[in-house]
Chain A
Amino acid sequence: MSEYCLFCHEQITSNTNWSSFFTSHKETYLCQVCESQLIKIEGETCDICSRPLEKLEKQYVINNRCLDCVRWEEDDEWKGYLLKNESLYEYNDFLKGIISQYKFRGDYILAKIFSLRIQQKLPPNVLLVPIPLSTERQFERGFNQTEALINETGQSPIHLLERTHSEKQSKKSRHDRIHIPQVFQIEEGRGVADKDILLIDDIYTTGSTLRHAAKILIHAGAKSVSSLTLAR
C-alpha cells in the first residue's frame, strides 16, 4: 500500500477493520475520493466491444450489440477478426485526466493503479500483446504505455506487432481511422499459429486500432484475437 494517492497525492487513510486486517493484502494506489470516480463497466454491455448498452438510445442497439459493432461485422473486410473486447472503466473526465497524465506526461507509475483489475481479467494461456508505438513516439514518451500495463501486472508482454507508420490516432475522424491502410506488421520470426491472443490497449474508441491488429494476426494464423482496454 502506498502512502499517498498516486493521482491527487492526498495521504491515503486506510480504514482498517477486522476483515480488511485479515484479508487485505492488495495494494491501494488511489485515495477513496479518486477511486470512487473510476466507474467500472458493469451491467448490460455490447456482446463484442463491452460498451454499456443502457446509455445508448434504442435505435443504436441491435440484439445486444451496439450499432458500431454491427457495422463492423457487416463489413466483409472486417468481420470476425476481433472476437471480443473487454474494457475496465468508463472513459469519463476523471479517467481522461489519469490517462493523459500517464501517457502524454509520461507518469509511468500510474500504470499501477490498474494492475490488480487487469490481473483479474487475464484469461489463462493467452499471449499478451501490447499495441506498439512508433520508434519516434516511444523515444518521446520514454515507454510504451500498453506494455507498461502488462509489465506492472507481473506478466511478460509478447511483441508480435510493429508499427508501419506513425500518425497520431487521436486527431482523426472515425472515417479516417477505419480507412487507413494497415498500420501494423508482424515482427519477423514470431510464431502466432494456433495461439489465442489478448491485445492490450489504453482506450477503445472506434475499435479501429484493435481490428487492424486483429486482422493481421488472424491472417498470420492466430486462433483467436480478443482485447482488453482500460477505457471504453
Chain B
Amino acid sequence: MKFAVLHEKLVPEPLLTTPSATQTITSLAEIPQPPTIPNFSFNPELQKLLLGKQLLLDEIPLSLEEIQSHYENGYITLRKGITFNKNIPKCERCGNQDQSWFASFPCSRCGETCTYCRKCIMMGRVSTCTPLYGWIDVSDISHVHATLDWKGTLSPGQQHVSNKVMESINVNKELLVWAVCGAGKTEVLFEGINRALAMQKRVCIATPRTDVVLELSPRLQAIFPIIEVASLYGGSEDRQKYSPLTITTTHQLLRFYKAFDTIILDEVDAFPYSVDKALQYAVNQARKDMSSLIYLTATPNEQWQKECRQGKRDFVTIPARYHRHPLPVPEFVWCGNWNKALTKGTLPANVMKWLKHRIETGKQALIFIPKIELIPKILPLLQKLHPAIEAVHAEDPNRKEKVKAMRSKEISLLITTTILERGVTFPNLDVAVFGAEDRIFTESALVQISGRVGRSAQYPGGWITFFHYGLTESMLKARKQIQGMNKEGLKKGWIDVE
C-alpha cells in the first residue's frame, strides 16, 4: 500500500479521493504524526489491540477508514516496517539485517518491487510498503488491583531472591536470577509481579517454549484471579487480548513495541532464544524505555557467568533446592570407544551393567544420547533387555505421548536426545549420559540434565552418571558448577546436613 502526504497527514492510496503523488512508507523521509485531539471518541477495542504493539494492517480487524480516522486524530502511529541504511535493509519488526534473509517481489499492493523480510515471515510479511501500526499513548489502561492469592511459603533462599526481584521491579533495573534446577524459581516471582501490578505496571513473562506458557498460564491465573491473564503462543486465541499480565513465547514478543514495564525472561540460555538474535531484539523492542528486566536461568552461559564474577551484572542465586537436599553430583565413568562397540552390535559392559541394574530394581531412568542417528542402533539392543523401553527425539510425532507414558510408568527406560534436558520432571529417577564427551553436551546442557535427578521432596536423591570416552572441559565445568552451588547452599544454611 502506498501513501500520499496531504496537509501533513498520510492518506493511504485506497482512500484518496483525488489523484495525488504516492509513495511507499519506507521511502518517506518522515512520517507525519497528527496531534492528538483529546475529545475524539476513540474505539477502546482498538486501543486494547494496539497499545504497546506493532501490528500489520492484516492483523487489525477494522476498516481502513476507521484506522485512518484514528491516525488523523492522533491516536494511531505508523512506523516503517523496513528501513534502509546505505541501501542495506533492516526489518524493524524483528531486527533482521542479514541480507540472506531478504528477498523482493513485484508487489500488487504498491505496484513496485518490494523488499521483504523472510526471517519473521511466519508472523505475516513485512515489506517496504508495510507500515507497523501502534497506539500513540504509552500510558496503560488502568486495571483493577490484582491481589495475590497464594497460600504457599517461600524458603529462606527463595525469600531472599523474591525481595531482590521486587527491588528490581521497583527501580526498573535488570537482574539475573541464577537458580538451580528444582529451586522453585516460579514462586520467587509472585510477590514481585503482585507489587508491579499494584503499581499499575504491565508485566510480561516470556519463555522460549510453548509448553512452559501452557503450564504457567493457569498457575498464574489461579493466583491472580481478579485479572484476566493473556496467554500467547503460535495459534493461541488470546492474540488480541489486552492484559496487565501476559505470558508469552519469546516469538510472540515480535508483535509488541514498548509495551511492558517489567519483562521476566525465563530460560535465557535455552534454544532458540540463546541463538536467535531476532528474539533478543524482540525483548528489547517489547520493553518500555523505563522498565525492569528479570532474567531467569539455571545455567547462564560462560559470558554471563564471567560478568557476574566481575561484578558487571547484577545477579542473585538460589543455590539450593526448595526441599533442602543437595544437588546430585555427576559421577564420571569411562566406557571406552562406544561407537566401535555399537558397530559390533553391543554396548560397553559398564553401561550394560548400569542399565540392567535399573531394569532389575525397577527404577526409572533417562538415557541421554548425543545424536538421533544412534537411536536405531541402541534401542533394539535395550529392547532385548526389556520391552518397556522407548526412545524420543525432537521430530518424534509421539513425543508427548512417550513423555506421558514415562510419567505414568508405562515406560521404564527412556532414551532421549537433548530435547528432554529441561522442563521435564519425573519423581524417582536415575540419569545416564551416554557419550558425554560429545560437543552437544555443553556445560549448561550437562547441568540441566543432572538437574533432572532428585527433584521431588519424596525422592531427593538419585544417580547421575556420565559415560564417556575421554573427559571434556564441559563435563568438568558442569560438575564444578553443581558442587559450587551445593557448597554455597550449605554455607547459607539452605541445605540440611545429612
Report A's interface with B, CB cutoff 8 A. Answer: 3-4, 9, 101, 105-109, 138-144, 148, 151
Contact = CB atoms under 8 A, between A and B. Distances in A.
Nearest to B102: A109
Given A140-B58, A143-B108, A109 B103 contact: yes
B101, B103, B124, most chain A CB atoms within 10 A: B103
Given A108-B116, A109-B103, A142 B121 contact: no
8 contacts: A9-B101, A101-B121, A107-B103, A107-B121, A109-B118, A139-B108, A142-B109, A148-B105
Given A101-B121, A140-B58, A142-B114, A3 B105 contact: no
Given A140-B58, A142-B114, A142-B127, A108 B109 contact: no
B100 A3 contact: yes
A143 B125 CA distance: 12
B105 A108 contact: yes
Nearest to A152: B105
Interface string B98-141: 00110111111100001010100110110100000000000000
Contact of A138 (B101, B105, B108): B108
Interface string B67-110: 00000000000000000000000000000000011011111110
Given A105-B125, A106-B125, A107-B118, A139 B109 contact: yes
Contact of A143 (B106, B118, B122): B106
Contacts of A143: 105-108
Contacts of B58: 140
Contact of B122 (A4, A105, A141, A148): A105
Contact of A4 (B100, B104, B125): B100
B64 to A, nearest CB: 11
A223 B128 CA distance: 43
A108 to B, nearest CB: 3
Q: How big is chain B's contact interface, by range? A: 10 to 19
A171 B373 CA distance: 39
Given A9-B100, A109-B103, A142-B125, 14 more contacts: A4-B100, A101-B122, A105-B124, A105-B125, A106-B121, A107-B103, A108-B104, A108-B105, A109-B104, A109-B118, A139-B108, A142-B108, A143-B107, A151-B106
Contacts of A4: 100
A10 to B, nearest CB: 11
B105 A109 contact: yes
Nearest to A133: B108
Contacts of A142: 105, 107-109, 114, 125, 127
A140 B56 CA distance: 11
A150 B259 CA distance: 44
* 8 cross-chain pairs, A with B, having the tightest CB-CB distances, nearest first: A108-B105, A109-B103, A106-B125, A142-B107, A105-B121, A4-B100, A138-B108, A142-B109
A136 to B, nearest CB: 11
A4, A141, A142, most chain B CB atoms within 10 A: A142
A108 B106 CA distance: 9
Contacts of A140: 58
B55 to A, nearest CB: 15
Nearest to B58: A140
A138 B106 CA distance: 12
A2 to B, nearest CB: 8
Contacts of B104: 108-109
A146 to B, nearest CB: 13
Nearest to B1: A139
Nearest to A105: B121
Contacts of B105: 108-109, 142-143, 148
Contacts of A148: 105
Interface string B409-427: 0000000000000000000
Nearest to B127: A142
A101, A106, A144, A148, most chain B CB atoms within 10 A: A106
A3 to B, nearest CB: 6
A228 to B, nearest CB: 21
Contacts of A139: 108-109
A138 B107 CA distance: 10
B103 A108 contact: yes
Contacts of B116: 106, 108
Nearest to A107: B121
Nearest to A135: B108
A26 to B, nearest CB: 20
A143 B104 CA distance: 11
B389 to A, nearest CB: 29
A2 B127 CA distance: 21
A199 B465 CA distance: 63
A3 B109 CA distance: 29
A105 B120 CA distance: 10
B463 to A, nearest CB: 38
Contacts of A108: 103-105, 116
B152 to A, nearest CB: 44
Interface string B176-206: 0000000000000000000000000000000
Interface string B447-475: 00000000000000000000000000000
A99 B12 CA distance: 31
B162 to A, nearest CB: 42
Nearest to B124: A105
A138 B104 CA distance: 17
Contacts of A138: 108
A107 B114 CA distance: 12
Nearest to B105: A108
B254 to A, nearest CB: 14
A115 B131 CA distance: 31
A9 B127 CA distance: 19
A138 B111 CA distance: 12
A142 B58 CA distance: 12
A3, A105, A138, most chain B CB atoms within 10 A: A105
Contacts of B122: 101, 105
Nearest to B106: A143
A139 B107 CA distance: 9
A4 B101 CA distance: 9
A144 B127 CA distance: 16
A106 B106 CA distance: 12
A105 B118 CA distance: 10
